[in-house]
Amino acid sequence: MNYLIPFIILITVVVFIHEYGHYYFAKKFGVGITDFSIGFGKEIFGWKDSFGTRWKICWIPLGGYVKFFGDRNVYSQTEQDNVVKSYDSKDREKLFILKPLYQRSIIVAAGPLANFILAILIFFFINVFSGKDLTPAIINEVQKDSPAFVSGLKKNDVIISIDNNKVESILEISTFINASTADIIEFVILRDNRQLSKFVKPIFVNGKDSLGNSVKKRIVGIKLSPLNNKYNKKTLGPSKAMYYSVKEVWFVTITSLNFIGKMLTGSGDTSQLGGPIKIAKITGQVAEYGIIPFLSIMAYISISLGLVNLFPIPMLDGGHLMFYFFEKVFGEPLSQKTQEIFFRIGLFLLLSLMLFVTFNDLKDLNLF
């Protein structure tokens, strides 16, 4: 229960924000909405508002959906015409399929966009009220014969950037090293008031993360410590807080895309992929450290949900946007046969991914 309750809270918030993005713009453009559901399956409880929307919580808390008035799969102009004829003129104004292409696109894209906005607001809140660490990253020790030693890094070097990522804090060093997908990492350092570039080839070792979970770590062989053992954590003003918040969301997004690219080419570490079980485990572990770490993991999960939903896979928001792109190019929706082929491919990919991450989750629990 220590893991389950934080996980349900996190998923509920992240999914609600995602679906509310769809809901907000659908309402703005006059689309009728019959259901707003958090979770799938049988309804636990719910209510109907004055606009006829059923707001409900369902038993399976692994997603959600917003159902539009008259919503159905319509593959061709002929089928659209048949649907339209079954409604009177007043109801036709509420049909999603009759809205201009740009409005449909905005409604679909608004879900993932809401997830990115949520992450930015969470990081903004943390930077303003809790603060951001701005301790310079000074190398305290370089282990002999380590990759860092071979590359020429030395004690008292100040690390300025790693792979073009500006280092603002000593706490970012491990993140930037392990997030890099390059075989050789570029360190820009400050030594005797001179900037130097050093290229380090990290080694991989099996280790534990800060929560005690098994991970593969990139090691370069340096130890860092703050000056006089004091961390420089500062609360930020609104403009700086927003800058660092957007920067963090951008970094996580680009790093995730690079990681996915490496996996698709067969050179990424797929053992680190996890599904609901792993997310629940990590969420529960992080929640034990307090509200700020919990909000941080919520922001990262929100980014992941927004990013994954933009993939051009049918049944995801990105798949719908892909179909709208083709509709714009060809002047009409794709044929039923073509869309069905895409849906089968998308379903296969999603099921394969679900099976794979579930296997990783169970393996992480030492059940395999």
Give 133: exposed, middle or buried? Use CB within 10 Å, 0-12, 13-18, 19+. middle
Residue with tokens 């769809």: 22
Q: What is the SS3 assignment for the chain?
A: CCCHHHHHHHHHHHHHHHHHHHHHHHHHCCCCEEEEEEEEEEEEEEEECCCCCEEEEEEEEEEEEEEECCCCCCCCHHHHHHHHHCCCHHHHCCCHHHCCHHHHHHHHHHHHHHHHHHHHHHHHHHHHHHCEECCCCEEEEECCCCHHHHHCCCCCCEEEEECCEECCCCCHHHHHHHHCCCCCEEEEEEECCEEEEEEECCEEEEEECCCCCEEEEEECCEEECCHHHCCCEECCCHHHHHHHHHHHHHHHHHHHHHHHHHHHCCCCCHHHCCCHHHHHHHHHHHHCCCHHHHHHHHHHHHHHHHHHHCCCCCCCHHHHHHHHHHHHHHCCCCCHHHHHHHHHHHHHHHHHHHHHHHHHHHHHCCCC
Cα gap 81→118, rounded to integer Å: 38
What is the phi/psi pair of residue 127, to 5°?
Answer: -65, -35
Q: Which one of 19, 168, 186, 332 is the catalytic residue?
A: 19
Is 43 an annotated catalytic residue?
A: no
Instruction: Note whether 128 and 244 are within 8 A (CB).
Output: no
Q: Would you please indicate which residues are annotated as catalytic (active-site) residues? A: 19
